[in-house]
A and B are shown apart, each in its own frame.
Chain A
Amino acid sequence: MKVTFKIKRYNPEIPGKDKPYWEEFTLDNVEPTDRLLEMLHRIKWEQDGTLTLRRSCAHGVCGSDAMRINGVNHLACKVLMQDLGSKVTIEPILGLPVLKDLVVDMEPFFDHYKHVMPFFVNDTPLPADGRERRQSQFDREAFDDTTKCILCACCTTSCPSYWANGKYVGPAAIVNAHRFIFDTRDQAAKERLEILSEPQGVWRCRTIYNCTPACPRDIQVTKAISEVKLAIRKGSPEGIIKVTEIVERVVNA
């Protein structure tokens, strides 16, 4: 099939192209099962080498190629042409400064991530036998969903609260805080909950729900945010994630 791509472009180095503008490209022989990323490569390689985007693994794991595709955030390598139709609009993700074409400045995004203490804290003595700390399958399951995050920014840059206020830490940072807050081995939940109860923390979330369908890893982002909100209200992560729900997930496994 023949597909037209309308791509939002910007090149700070070329006069006349140093303001965002739209450009159209057409490709023939597009197969329904082609990945969008391959099509962007075809445009770059066959038609215009200046088209600029990030990409690496090409199968939805590295998180490099988040973009706004027909108005919705996706990874270009995880979208098939059959799901896009014959006219496709592509823009950089919103809410982060555009550097060139589809490449945005990721530094503010990673700064928010680093702000929530996204690392394991446990200063108690290690097990005397020199082995691993034990953790039950139930406790491990409680935070499984949020361990899947690849930091692609699809969620954060789909969030209207984040668009309105770039100081809000955003869904991805909260997801990564959740991963530690609900890990029974970790001991810094209190500090993280304090950080997230700051004015630019979790209460900026208005439960608009854009983040959850945007996640290419199918993380229940909004749910994770609500669990963090509940933990702040309660002053502790204990008992927030329903035992019955985890039991169901573990028994199913």
Chain B
Amino acid sequence: MKIHKHEVIIVGAGGAGLMAALYASRGGADVAVVSKLYPTRSHTGTAQGGIGAALGNLDEDQPIYHAYDTVKGGDYLADQNAALVLAEGAVEAVIELEHMGLPFDRTPDGRISQRRFGGHTREFGKELVRRACHAADRTGHMILQTLYQNCIKRNVNFFDEFQVVDTIINDGVCVGVVAIQIGTGEFHIFHGKAVMFASGGWGRCWSVSSNAHSMTGDGAAAVLRRGVPLQDMEFFQFHPTGIYKMGILITEGVRGEGGVLINNKGERFMEKYAPSAKDLASRDVVSRAIYDEVKKGNGIKGKDYVYLDVRPETVNRFFAEEGRKERIDAAYVEKKLPDILDFCRTYLGVDPVKEPMPIQPTAHYAMGGIPTNVDAQVVIDENWTVLPGMYAAGETACVSCHGANRLGTNSLVDLIVFGRRGGMHMADYVKGVDWTPLPADAGHEIESEFKRIRSSRGKMKPYQLRAKMQEVMMENVGVYRTEKTMTEAINVLRELRHEFRTNIAIDDQGYKFNTDLMEAWELGNLLELAEVTALSARNRTESRGGHSRDDYPKRDDENWLVHTLVCRAGTDDDPQYTINTAKKVDMSLAETDERFRPKVRAY
């Protein structure tokens, strides 16, 4: 097995991984980025609407307002220290991105342009604020490109199309990862002093998803198998506006520009659910409203979707009703939302300038993940005990700045703020520690596991199991859940795991670019994460943010201002999961400021 030695190993080349690579490299560390995709293919590139930062370029704004919105948006489960670090760090990090060349749209006076986004307000909820810094509707694309360009400029080492499949922990210290070089099928060991997981989410657990096919939670599953807990897995965000049936994301920026949700009676129904913020309420609120409308028979043509309407005549009518002075026309929509128009014209044959778009909630973002502190160090228990050498950032991490529901734009903020902090921290950390050796048998276990999967000659194709998992997660552990649906899901997932372990068929016996084998491996990761999601969700007997239970419809602050930590022991065939809820939510801002105390969440 080839061994590569670099001080800092970063798994994943999306926004968080590249930001960390850049700052660790600037801090003097020898960095290697290991990614199953070419960096520019990473899912960060699909983020559309903007990145929140209280620059105040168009409206008066302050980081503390952003922190407040983040805490409230997270239904008071966010760790308040992390929310403040996020909001304060956003300003500096966004300015740095501009200095790195990111082509933000501009205001008339040449500053970074900002737009409204769901849940972002000023003065603690007083009114919506223009905070989302944007480059048309391809902000994530521009962030990803800019970071990759700057990594090239700095000669960062890249191992592209190397898929990480295992974590190496020696004597309680994380010392590296094992990866398969996809092009050759060879196993490689990456030995480091610090290892960061920036490997993204697992939205492919659900059937209607905005996520790329590659969003299979490889990093989270790899550390879970090695005894590291995952936090708050029950909180998975359903974005309100996915293209009907396909799940492709339609940015909240559409509603930021004035677009509205309409039911089959032609009503702008969000006026009922969120009288103040209306269509720009938090995503969990809007997704539930769509489900409720559908349940009442108000879906379009009686089906399970509604319309998102950004036709200028519709938008202008509501602007006029609200007493807002601005007006838009077709050219404005073309300019501000070019990619969205392209998606709808390509995939639906619908021109959003002339017709409304059929949309439904789509699985979008993991609030939970590998628990970390604000320096992206992985922490393994309720006492915030650090696992030396292991870091995580981005969607795969749970810092937890998003709590029970992430605000729009804050995923990009999370990537750059905590990727940056993690990168800086790793650069310092590796200067002060010696190399911990690799264990003698590093990589052997995972190599034989792959041999086993490769030689599977069962009857079930991985795609069949995957489709069943996605259906049961969508139906039973989706926007609304109950004890009964989740127990059903857990039973089905257990059966699927058994099939996966004993009865799958792999067609491709080769080593080079064996995507048949890698897809099967990824299915194993998804099954693992689906199960801990369902288990964590069943355990939390309340409704909060992205976790809504029909059988426990109220938020329960008395008992549930705590994080869920789920841990795995046992074998791959018979894993034993334990759930711990002793980790309290950080309420440090509420201690001195009344406004940060949990209260009824109205928009």
A211–B145 Cα distance when bound, in Å, is: 21
How distant is A81 from chain B, measured CB to nearest CB, in Å?
Answer: 12
Range of interface residues on A (Cβ < 8 Å): 35 or more
Are the C-beta atoms of A13 and B213 separated by less than 8 Å? Answer: no
Are the C-beta atoms of A253 and B335 separated by less than 8 Å? Answer: yes
Are the C-beta atoms of B41 and A44 separated by less than 8 Å? Answer: no
**Chain B residues within 8 Å of A60, by CB:** 342-343, 346
How distant is B92 from chain A, measured CB to nearest CB, in Å?
Answer: 8
A44–B513 Cα distance when bound, in Å, is: 14
What 0/1 readout, one digit per residue, does chain B (483-518) give for beta carbons within 8 Å of chain A?
Answer: 000000000000000000000011110111111100
Are the C-beta atoms of A50 and B103 separated by less than 8 Å? Answer: no
Q: Which of B106, B510, B516 contacts A137 (CB 8 A)?
A: B106
Are the C-beta atoms of A61 and B507 separated by less than 8 Å? Answer: no
Q: Which of A41, A126, A150, A186 contacts B101 (CB 8 A)?
A: A186
A14–B510 Cα distance when bound, in Å, is: 8
Are the C-beta atoms of B101 and A12 separated by less than 8 Å? Answer: no
Asked if B461 is at the interface (CB within 8 A of a chain A CB), the reply is yes
How distant is B125 from chain A, measured CB to nearest CB, in Å?
Answer: 27
A143–B101 Cα distance when bound, in Å, is: 12
* Contact residues, A97-118 vs B (CB, 8 A): 99-101, 103, 106, 110, 114, 118
**Given A35-B347, A186-B101, A49 and B506 contact (CB-CB distance below 8 Å):** yes
Are the C-beta atoms of B507 and A48 separated by less than 8 Å? Answer: yes
How distant is A28 from chain B, measured CB to nearest CB, in Å?
Answer: 17
Are the C-beta atoms of A252 and B335 separated by less than 8 Å? Answer: yes
**Chain A residues within 8 Å of B507, by CB:** 48-50
**Chain A residues within 8 Å of B349, by CB:** 33
Asked if B183 is at the interface (CB within 8 A of a chain A CB), the reply is yes
Are the C-beta atoms of B335 and A110 separated by less than 8 Å? Answer: no
Are the C-beta atoms of A130 and B103 separated by less than 8 Å? Answer: no
Are the C-beta atoms of B183 and A99 separated by less than 8 Å? Answer: yes
A126–B37 Cα distance when bound, in Å, is: 34
Closest partner residue, chain A, to B102 (CB atom):
A120
**Chain A residues within 8 Å of B213, by CB:** 55-58
**Given A62-B41, A252-B335, A119 and B101 contact (CB-CB distance below 8 Å):** yes
What 0/1 readout, one digit per residue, does chain B (121-163) give for beta carbons within 8 Å of chain A?
Answer: 0000000000000011010011001100110110000000000
How distant is A220 from chain B, measured CB to nearest CB, in Å?
Answer: 14
Closest partner residue, chain A, to B511 (CB atom):
A13
Asked if B62 is at the interface (CB within 8 A of a chain A CB), the reply is no
Q: Which of A100, A150, A218 contacts B512 (CB 8 A)?
A: A100
Are the C-beta atoms of B516 and A44 separated by less than 8 Å? Answer: yes
Are the C-beta atoms of B346 and A11 separated by less than 8 Å? Answer: no
Closest partner residue, chain A, to B339 (CB atom):
A61
Closest partner residue, chain B, to A64 (CB atom):
B41
How distant is A51 from chain B, measured CB to nearest CB, in Å?
Answer: 9
Asked if B98 is at the interface (CB within 8 A of a chain A CB), the reply is yes
**Given A62-B212, A131-B95, A252-B335, A50 and B508 contact (CB-CB distance below 8 Å):** yes
How distant is A177 from chain B, measured CB to nearest CB, in Å?
Answer: 12
**Chain A residues within 8 Å of B248, by CB:** 58-59
**Chain B residues within 8 Å of A99, by CB:** 183, 512-513
Closest partner residue, chain A, to B43 (CB atom):
A57
**Chain A residues within 8 Å of B135, by CB:** 147
Are the C-beta atoms of B516 and A133 separated by less than 8 Å? Answer: no
What 0/1 readout, one digit per residue, does chain A (33-49) give for beta carbons within 8 Å of chain B?
Answer: 10100000100111011
A147–B507 Cα distance when bound, in Å, is: 41
* Contact residues, A216-253 vs B (CB, 8 A): 218, 252-253
Are the C-beta atoms of A78 and B37 separated by less than 8 Å? Answer: no
Are the C-beta atoms of A45 and B461 separated by less than 8 Å? Answer: yes
**Chain A residues within 8 Å of B512, by CB:** 11-13, 99-100
Are the C-beta atoms of B153 and A119 separated by less than 8 Å? Answer: yes
How distant is A92 from chain B, measured CB to nearest CB, in Å?
Answer: 12
**Chain B residues within 8 Å of A134, by CB:** 106, 109-111
Asked if A93 is at the interface (CB within 8 A of a chain B CB), the reply is no
**Chain B residues within 8 Å of A110, by CB:** 38
How distant is B43 from chain A, measured CB to nearest CB, in Å?
Answer: 7
Asked if A190 is at the interface (CB within 8 A of a chain B CB), the reply is no
A12–B150 Cα distance when bound, in Å, is: 36
Q: Which of B98, B110, B339, B510 contacts A13 (CB 8 A)?
A: B510
**Chain A residues within 8 Å of B110, by CB:** 134-137
What 0/1 readout, one digit per residue, does chain A (199-229) give for beta carbons within 8 Å of chain B?
Answer: 0000000000000000000100000000000
Closest partner residue, chain B, to A137 (CB atom):
B106
Are the C-beta atoms of A137 and B108 separated by less than 8 Å? Answer: yes
Asked if A171 is at the interface (CB within 8 A of a chain B CB), the reply is no
Are the C-beta atoms of B138 and A63 separated by less than 8 Å? Answer: no
How distant is B146 from chain A, measured CB to nearest CB, in Å?
Answer: 7
For A61, A110, A253, the residue with the greatest tally of chain B CB atoms inside 10 Å of its CB is A61
Asked if A72 is at the interface (CB within 8 A of a chain B CB), the reply is no
Asked if B331 is at the interface (CB within 8 A of a chain A CB), the reply is yes
**Chain A residues within 8 Å of B506, by CB:** 49
Are the C-beta atoms of B99 and A62 separated by less than 8 Å? Answer: no
How distant is A120 from chain B, measured CB to nearest CB, in Å?
Answer: 3
Q: Which of A53, A80, A119, A135 contacts B106 (CB 8 A)?
A: A135
Are the C-beta atoms of A80 and B346 separated by less than 8 Å? Answer: yes
How distant is A40 from chain B, measured CB to nearest CB, in Å?
Answer: 11
A56–B136 Cα distance when bound, in Å, is: 22
**Chain A residues within 8 Å of B45, by CB:** 57, 61-62, 150
Asked if B112 is at the interface (CB within 8 A of a chain A CB), the reply is yes
Q: Which of B100, B212, B342 contacts A58 (CB 8 A)?
A: B212
**Chain B residues within 8 Å of A33, by CB:** 347-349
* Contact residues, A1-56 vs B (CB, 8 A): 11-14, 33, 35, 41, 44-46, 48-50, 52-53, 55-56
Closest partner residue, chain A, to B108 (CB atom):
A137
Closest partner residue, chain A, to B41 (CB atom):
A62
Are the C-beta atoms of A119 and B150 separated by less than 8 Å? Answer: yes
**Given A50-B507, A64-B41, A120 and B100 contact (CB-CB distance below 8 Å):** yes
A133–B41 Cα distance when bound, in Å, is: 28
Closest partner residue, chain A, to B330 (CB atom):
A252
A60–B335 Cα distance when bound, in Å, is: 19
A100–B514 Cα distance when bound, in Å, is: 9
Are the C-beta atoms of A50 and B98 separated by less than 8 Å? Answer: no
Are the C-beta atoms of A57 and B46 separated by less than 8 Å? Answer: yes
A23–B347 Cα distance when bound, in Å, is: 28
What 0/1 readout, one digit per residue, does chain B (308-343) give for beta carbons within 8 Å of chain A?
Answer: 000000000000000000000001101110010011
Are the C-beta atoms of A132 and B461 separated by less than 8 Å? Answer: no
Asked if B264 is at the interface (CB within 8 A of a chain A CB), the reply is no
**Given A58-B212, A78-B346, A119-B101, A150 and B141 contact (CB-CB distance below 8 Å):** yes
Q: List 24 A-B contacts (CB under 8 A).
A: A11-B510, A13-B512, A33-B349, A35-B347, A44-B515, A45-B461, A45-B462, A52-B508, A57-B43, A59-B347, A61-B45, A63-B40, A78-B346, A99-B183, A99-B513, A101-B513, A106-B38, A131-B95, A132-B98, A147-B135, A149-B145, A150-B141, A180-B101, A186-B101
